[in-house]
Amino acid sequence: MNQKSTMKDMLAEERPYEKCERFGAGSLTDIELLAVLLRTGTKGENSLELARRLLYPPSFMGVNGETHLQDWTKDDLLKVHGIGKVKAIQILCLCELSKRLSQMSAREELDFSRPGTIAEYYMEDMRHRKQEYMKLLMLNSKSRFIGETEISKGTINMSVVSPRELFIEALQKNAVYIILLHNHPSGDPSPSKDDILVTRRVKEAGELIGIELLDHIIIGDNCYVSLAMRDSI
């Protein structure tokens, strides 16, 4: 499509808004959906072209050689020609809403005895993060969720993951079982030597005070690894 074309130059059935009105939102491509939400483009560029640049930017690539709309920060968006403060905030809110809706859907299937449901629930929250984050999930004697906390940020190793601080948090919540959860920004959830070492140290420490480590789940890009399922705990 010529970047200087306007929506008026397009046939009515090709315009995203009219197409949605006539055939439903399911008939729209990702670019068309975003274009509808953006509403307007900029001088010499319609909303479809602006949406395409946001979804498939040539110079903003993620760690896997790909980019996701969720990867953009407010500062990144404001550097894009045609994106002002209002549109930037709208896009950030759209991404947050998408994440929350995904979690809401996954919550119905969430079962702490099934690693896949845990990974699905936290996937959208963690897979786009650019640094490693580790969460501690705490369960009671009936394996019911009683709380979570973020216990580290950055490379996961024994220097930043302290079993002492971890179990202080678990004891304060009267947890009987815990699950570790962290992301790999590379998108590859394969456990590193440090991941396995941290897991074993936490398990050993938990055995001394009566809090059992059930699993350590590593989140990748729409994939995960359960160390419990790999018999690495």
Residue 74 makes CB contacts below 8 A (sequence gap 6+) with 88, 89, 92
List the domain boundaries for the chain: 7-103, 109-226
What average pLDDT does the segment 61-86 reach? 79
Would you mind telling me the total number of residues written for the chain in this entry?
Answer: 233
Q: Looking at residue 9, what is its pLDDT?
A: 58
For the segment 178-189, the average pLDDT, to the nearest whole number, is: 95
Computed over every residue of the chain, the mean pLDDT equals 86
Q: Does domain 109-226 have CATH number 3.40.140.10?
A: yes
Cβ neighbours of residue 44 under 8 Å, at least 6 residues apart? Answer: 3, 4
Q: Is 149 helix (H, G, I), strand (E, B) or coil?
A: strand
The whole-number average pLDDT for the span 180-196 is 94
